[in-house]
Structure 1
Amino acid sequence: MNAVIGVDLGSNSARAVAIDPSGKVLGAATGAYPGAGGWPAGRADPRAWLAGVVEAVTALGERITGRPEAICVGGQSPTTVPVGGGLAVTCRHPAGVTGSPVEQHHAQRALLGPDAEPRQVYDWLMARLGAGERQSRWPGDPSLEGYGRRAATGEVIGLTDGGRGLAEVFGARGGRGGYPSPGPGEGYGLPAGVPLVAGAQDAYLAFWAGGIDTPGRALDPGGRTGGLAVAVASSAAHGDLYTLAGPARGVDIVGGPVSSHGLMLEWLTMVTGRPVPELLELAGAVPHGADGVIVLPYLEGERAPRWNRRLRAEIVGLGSGCGPGHLARAVLEGAAYGLRSIADSLPVPLDVLVCAGSPARSPLWCQIKADVLEVPVEIPAETDLAAYGAALGAGAGAGWWPPPGAAPGGSWPRPPVTVVEPAPRSVYRETYRRFVSLGDAAELRMTDKESLCPTP
């Protein structure tokens, strides 16, 4: 069976997806990060990430037959790993977070010290599997000084060199837990000679997999953060908009990331003691507009469109008749209002929104986003678009299709989708106006010395 493997190194786990030349998903698996609960804020043990990747690929090997044609790893970014050992600095660390991704990487490098040799997290992982010390970069992204020799997303950067451990996955089906023990270049047991392909950060891979390659198509990558990315013609004037090269030739991406959409729901599970499925069920029983309850989802400040890290989350409109369902509904709606505020800041049309990540698994949340943004929402059958996008990168390395930036829109497979049609509502339009006004007021109240909670 012809298959390539893509791996997304997420905030909470690694997810591996195998696809065939038609783009059909042949299998998917996840891997946990041992000891993640004890990591300092904004730091992580990269050995645990490697263990998660090994576990995910091991489990995936149980579901496919034959050896993979190529492997590509992408994921969270900006995140920097010191080659010589020690904790990595993750994208959730405040170092450089108010700057560009390149500035954030360099701030992370400075935090590690002048003698540290830095690598992007997925490049560090690929080097452990047998690739050369390279710097995977999406088309149009500037190079990172000191992070290794540049390689384009979809470019083969090495071969697995064998070793013990995962070889049994494609043979005797063995496995092990905990941290993998081999050193750099020992392959962690993958069969020797499998091409290793340069990846990219998770959002870029999700743009690719979601087909955000035609002007007017947009994506919310979901996860703990989220955001809005809209495809526009490269020939259009973008002004000062946050812009990057799209996956298709002649297409750019504008928009921006947010800080805490999925994280707000995680926070609510913590304070209520109710699991996410229960909160979603309770939210479904609350009227549109949450009976006037509004959540500003700024637990860790906000990126687009306010770009103010000192903002903090607020809950407005609580009454004695409100319960966990009202809070849950307001969190779901607040995330949708946040996306709408980005859309309204862009002088470009939005025709359809692709929802990805764990939030896409909630029909209620997807319907709220469709209603608030007043556009159809596509829900991919494979919601981890970053892993699917990494598989597209592996397929490019295997020669199945062009790398990003080398072909027009529609040149790559994408997962099948379910379409949710919008039902615009006046209560959402009015509550959205209040959401924006409350955010404006929150910024006006702030002074240089104010912060309701310590900055994480």
Structure 2
Amino acid sequence: MNAVIGVDLGSNSARAVAIDPSGKVLGAATGAYPGAGSWPAGRADPHAWLAGVVEAVTALGERLTGRPEAICIGGQSPTTVPHDGGLAVTCRHPAGVTGSPVEQHHAQREVIGRDAEPRQVYDWLMARLGARERQSRWPGDPSLDGYGSRAATGEVIGLTGDGQAGDHGGSGGPGGSGIPGLAGASGIPAGVPLVAGAQDAYLAFWAGGVDTPGRALDPGGRTGGLAVAIASSAAHGDLYTLASPARGVDIVGGPVSSHGLMLEWLTMVTGRQVPELLELAAAVPAGADGVIVLPYLEGERAPRWNRQLRAEIVGLGSGCGPGHLARAVLEGAAYGLRNIADSLPVALDVLVCAGSPARSPLWCQIKADVLEVPVEVPAETDLAAYGAALAAGAGAGWWPRPGEASGGSWPRPPVTVVEPSPRSVYRETYRRFVSLGDAAELRLTDKEFLCPTP
């Protein structure tokens, strides 16, 4: 069968996507995490993640004909799993959160204990399926001390069901998965090449074609952010920079903390589900009748990088209802992206929207209008899973690994383009959004206004 499978280990479920050599999506499936509701804050049971991955891959495999040519897993990061499978420390844990991704990984290692043999979550999962113990790293990313020997994204690191593969070291021993044959026993066929992955955002950048200067992406999900491609020669040391999939092109920008989470919070406090909130928001005019939301539930990363910030709702009146709040949440996320864009030395030509927020035509239109650029909405909105499939395809020899070719060398999912309709109310409200954020940071110097850090 000419198909490879990519898996994105998301916050709420695992999603598997199969593509063919043309990049066409052949099918998709999800898997749940048993017991996730009882996990302590910032911690997780990696065996439940494994169950979700196996469920998704097995369900997808049942819809395909024959055995896939490769499988790759990517996902949330920074997240650290003890080698023995004890509770993981997730990207939502406060350990090291104000530092770089490498610093956050090392802070997470301290939480689980330095003798616990730390692993990136997708590397731990791949080892359970039969891969050799490796730390999968994107081109240009520094290696993590103590997380195993390095493997490049797109590199074959083992076979499914091979519990003794390469340097495993035997069942239960150092470096070994301890569960030979899991793949075959679970319904995943044995002998399928396993390919080194990467963190979800990097894979989404790859799938979204953020490999040509001026192309940008919001990966969506519970957090979100803005990544913009820029010629490597134009980037400089003051920017948060990483390598794009293409040679000679870097990515600048940064993640945010709570864009999708802000909408989840609103469902909790209103008792209304997301589809109803989106419908109510569509009935409220642009600018939300003056209601503004600063989406800082868990502090803010780019461009403020201030964990002490907290969400604010400004401009509520007696005539406001859930629709105003929902509209202000959608607009606040767009203003947050615009705030990052305005801090960068590169102009946006197009924004690719991914994740669950991309499934809302209203939210995509708001982002197009606020950033004043066209928005591409991929037919496959889980670009992290599609990017993991690109890595699997590289392992199968279908196309180059990231960093080995120029922009446009890899397939992309088909897209729908949302054209912008700039509005003066958005420009004015955006200025107020920035001013309110500035004022919130100034208040943090007064201890009377500080909230406890979760």
- TM-score, normalising length: structure 1: 0.95
Distance verdict in 2 for CA 1:448–1:7, change over 3 Å: farther
Mapped contact 1:127–1:185 kept (Cα < 8 A): no
* Structure 2 equivalent of residue 315 of structure 1: 313
Instruction: Return the offset for 1:237.
Output: 3.6
* Structure 2 equivalent of residue 179 of structure 1: none
Aligned residue type for 2:219: P
**445-454 vs 209-218, greater mean Cα deviation:** 445-454
Instruction: Return the offset for 1:184.
Output: 3.2
Distance 2:161 2:351 in 1: 41
* Structure 1 equivalent of residue 416 of structure 2: 418
Task: Kindly report structure 1 stretches of 4+ aligned residues shifted beyond 6 Å.
Answer: none
Mapped contact 1:162–1:191 kept (Cα < 8 A): no
1:391-443, Cα deviation, whole Å (9 max, x unpaired): 00000000000000100000000000000000000000000000000000000
* Structure 1 equivalent of residue 239 of structure 2: 241
SS at match of 2:285: coil
Matches within 5 A, 1:177-192: 183-189=178-184, 190-192=188-190
Mapped contact 1:16–1:29 kept (Cα < 8 A): yes
Q: Which runs of 5+ in 1 are unaligned?
A: 164-181
Distance 1:114 1:209 in 2: 35
Mapped contact 2:6–2:17 kept (Cα < 8 A): yes
Distance 1:233 1:145 in 2: 30
Q: Which runs of 5+ in 2 are unaligned?
A: 164-176
SS at match of 1:378: strand
Matches within 5 A, 1:95-110: 95-110=95-110
Instruction: Return the offset for 1:63.
Output: 1.5
Aligned residue type for 1:215: P
How many residues were matched structurally? 438
Tell me the percent identity.
Answer: 91
Instruction: Return the offset for 1:449.
Output: 4.3
Instruction: Return the offset for 1:451.
Output: 6.2
Matches within 5 A, 1:42-441: 42-161=42-161, 183-189=178-184, 190-441=188-439
**228-237 vs 73-82, greater mean Cα deviation:** 228-237
1:117-175, Cα deviation, whole Å (9 max, x unpaired): 10000000000000011000000000000000000000000111269xxxxxxxxxxxx
Distance verdict in 2 for CA 1:191–1:450, change over 3 Å: farther
Mapped contact 2:183–2:190 kept (Cα < 8 A): no
Distance 1:442 1:224 in 2: 22
Mapped contact 2:444–2:450 kept (Cα < 8 A): no
Distance 1:451 1:116 in 2: 39
* Structure 2 equivalent of residue 174 of structure 1: none
Distance 2:326 2:77 in 1: 28
Distance 1:55 1:386 in 2: 18
- TM-score, normalising length: structure 2: 0.95
SS at match of 1:62: helix
* Structure 1 equivalent of residue 37 of structure 2: 37
SS at match of 2:63: coil
Mapped contact 1:3–1:68 kept (Cα < 8 A): yes
* Structure 1 equivalent of residue 19 of structure 2: 19
1:330-356, Cα deviation, whole Å (9 max, x unpaired): 000000000000000001111000000
Distance verdict in 2 for CA 1:255–1:450, change over 3 Å: farther
Distance verdict in 2 for CA 1:451–1:24, change over 3 Å: farther
Aligned residue type for 1:362: S
1:255-304, Cα deviation, whole Å (9 max, x unpaired): 00000000000000000000000000000000000000000000000000
Mapped contact 1:128–1:186 kept (Cα < 8 A): no
